[in-house]
Amino acid sequence: MPRPMHLAAHFPGVNNTTVWADPRSRSQIDFSSFELLARTAERGKFDFFFLAEGLRLREHNGRVHDLDVVGRPESLTVLNALAAVTDRLGLAATVNATFNEPYELARRLATLDHLSAGRAAWNVVTSSDAFTGENFRRGGYLDRADRYTRAAEFVATARELWDSWTPDGTSRPFAHDGTQFTISGEFTVPRSPQGHPVVIQAGDSDEGREFAASAADVIFTRHGTLEAGRVFYADVKARLAAYGREPGDLKIMPGVTVVTGDTDAEAQERAAGIRRQQVSPQNAILTAEQIWGTDLSAYDPDGPLPDIDPVPDSEITQGRVRHGDPFATVARWRAVSEAKGLSLRQTVIETTTRQSFIGSPRTVAAELTSFVDERAADGFILVPHLTPSGLDDFVDRVVPLLQESGAFRSEYTGSTLRSHLGLPEPVWKG
Ligand SMILES: Cc1cc2nc3c(=O)[nH]c(=O)nc-3n(C[C@H](O)[C@H](O)[C@H](O)COP(=O)(O)O)c2cc1C
């Protein structure tokens, strides 16, 4: 019997991989879009629906980055509305621990858990980004080194608030005195169906992994290849014992993309077509500008790579992390371009992330199953390239095969997200 797989649906949001030019693309704001993807996920018996968060519109070269998604509504409000049109699907909101307060957020999460009868989850993210901080009263005040100190105390404090009501419905005063928060009073929301909403962590540094091992129920990770996934999985699971936790107490779910076709060859062709849509000529220049850190609008995307050095420490893009050493990236791009005779746009297509699983439904189902069996993941957060119909094929054609082989549930067996994920009930600490 294969190990049980967990699946989540990521609503395509702030990223450069959503294809807006496709005639099937619809609004990322209208409730009907959220509802359609959530209903598809629930039809597929997914564990949860996932909303990312971006607290400031990204800017590029001093202007709002309108090749990206521009604008999105607040996650918990959307999820409260989805609770009314779904029945079993978990509802996960990404909410920043840097720009919120435990009392207020614990209340909102406990409320979603009540309204959804035990389906709430919180993806705890951190940010020290002063650009985002300008939107808030205490703009940019948090030192990078303190992000996880605050996040860990935030989660611990929220759990104290959730535990301040007894399971039989009596409220007790709470008092928390720490380095980040000193608060006391009475919590307004009775203990919710899950006791504690599910906590997800997304962050890859050593501190991020340690925080996840100590406090999270799920990790959302970028390590979506078999090799990188296995290394990450072993690393994180090995950290749990120090906190008195079992390997099954923390589920590891990489964000992945899937392209299917009737045959493997057709899927490969579709995947290449999607990559060409994702990396339009305009987007190729923009991606190159993020690497070079300078204006490249004078260059032809169908011509050779820019013949200049990158600018270190550039702030051409605001609100997006610049990964790695730009000199090393440019050198790698030049090598690929020269070896294969590729234009700038073709080089971007070749070197930036391609789809993770490409093949016939049977090929994709088998690969997903082997990732879980080989302990590269406990499941997957699927990131479609179309809003909101991007998971239709997966749910209609891949899920039935996973169900047939016993790799994935055919019916929900419980009603809470915690039960879908096979997580232990939180112990009440009164
Ligand atoms: C897979 C993944 C998804 C993330 N999603 C978000 C998000 O939706 N919103 C956000 O503000 N930060 C998001 N983050 C950023 C993290 O919260 C964190 O700020 C960043 O990874 C840097 O932390 P680290 O040094 O521990 O990796 C995400 C990170 C990862 C790895």
Nearest CA to ligand 1 atom 20: 203
Residue 401 lies in a domain: yes
Q: Examine the fold and report which residue of 351, 366, 381 is the final residue of a domain before the chain moves on.
A: 351
Query: Ligand 1 within 6 A of 126 CB?
Result: yes
Average pLDDT over residues 342-353: 94
Asked if residue 346 has pLDDT above 80, the reply is yes
Average pLDDT over residues 74-80: 97
> How confident is the model at residue 380, as a pLDDT?
98
The amino acid sitting at 147 is R
Query: Ligand 1 within 6 A of 16 CB?
Result: no
Q: Is 177 found in the same domain as 319?
A: no
C-alpha 192/C-alpha 109 separation (Å) is 9
Say if CB 417 and CB 90 are below 8 A apart.
yes
Domain housing 188: 6-261+355-421
Give the torsion sign (CA, 369, 261, 256, 302). Answer: positive
Residue 138 lies in a domain: yes
Q: Is 346 found in the same domain as 362?
A: no
> How confident is the model at residue 75, as a pLDDT?
96
Q: Is 344 found in the same domain as 255?
A: no
Say if CB 417 and CB 196 are below 8 A apart.
no
Say if CB 185 and CB 193 are below 8 A apart.
no
Q: Is 287 found in the same domain as 217?
A: no
Query: Ligand 1 within 6 A of 72 CB?
Result: no
C-alpha closest to that of 130 among 143, 120, 119: 143
Q: Are strands 379-382 and 251-256 parallel, antiparallel or unpaired?
A: parallel
Query: Ligand 1 within 6 A of 12 CB?
Result: no
Query: Ligand 1 within 6 A of 75 CB?
Result: no
Query: Ligand 1 within 6 A of 208 CB?
Result: yes
Q: Examine the fold and report which residue of 351, 379, 412 is the final residue of a domain before the chain moves on.
A: 351
DSSP string of 312-331?
TT--SEESS---S-HHHHHH
User: Could you tell which of 15, 75, 125, 381 is best to mutate to test the pocket of ligand 1, judged by most ligand atoms within 8 Å of the CB?
Assistant: 125
C-alpha 254/C-alpha 219 separation (Å) is 8
Tens digit of each residue's pLDDT (9 = 90 or more) over 366-399: 999 999 999 999 999 999 999 999 999 999 999 9
Q: Examine the fold and report which residue of 310, 328, 351 is the final residue of a domain before the chain moves on.
A: 351
Percent of the chain with pLDDT over 70: 96
CB atoms within 10 A of CB 352: 17
Count of the separate structural domains present in the chain? 2
Q: Residue 61 sits in a domain of what CATH number? A: 3.20.20.30
Residue 359 lies in a domain: yes
Query: Ligand 1 within 6 A of 222 CB?
Result: yes
Average pLDDT over residues 192-203: 96
Residue 324 lies in a domain: yes
205 or 71, which is more confident: 205
Confidence of residue 59 (pLDDT cuts 50, 70, 90): confident
Atom of ligand 1 nearest to the CA of 55: 11
Percent of the chain with pLDDT over 90: 80
Nearest CA to ligand 1 atom 28: 202
Q: Is 288 found in the same domain as 165?
A: no
> How confident is the model at residue 320, as a pLDDT?
66
> How confident is the model at residue 406, as a pLDDT?
97
> How confident is the model at residue 67, as a pLDDT?
66
Say if CB 383 and CB 163 are below 8 A apart.
no
Q: Is 120 found in the same domain as 55?
A: yes
Average pLDDT over residues 32-41: 98
Query: Ligand 1 within 6 A of 398 CB?
Result: no
Q: Is 178 found in the same domain as 322?
A: no
Q: Is 250 found in the same domain as 145?
A: yes
Residue 339 lies in a domain: yes
Q: Is 201 found in the same domain as 340?
A: no
C-alpha 134/C-alpha 400 separation (Å) is 47
Asked if residue 215 has pLDDT above 70, the reply is yes
Tens digit of each residue's pLDDT (9 = 90 or more) over 37-58: 999 999 999 999 999 988 888 7
> How confident is the model at residue 72, as a pLDDT?
81
Q: Is 366 found in the same domain as 346?
A: no
234 phi and psi angles, rounded to 5 deg = -65, -40
Q: Is 199 found in the same domain as 319?
A: no
Q: Is 256 found in the same domain as 124?
A: yes
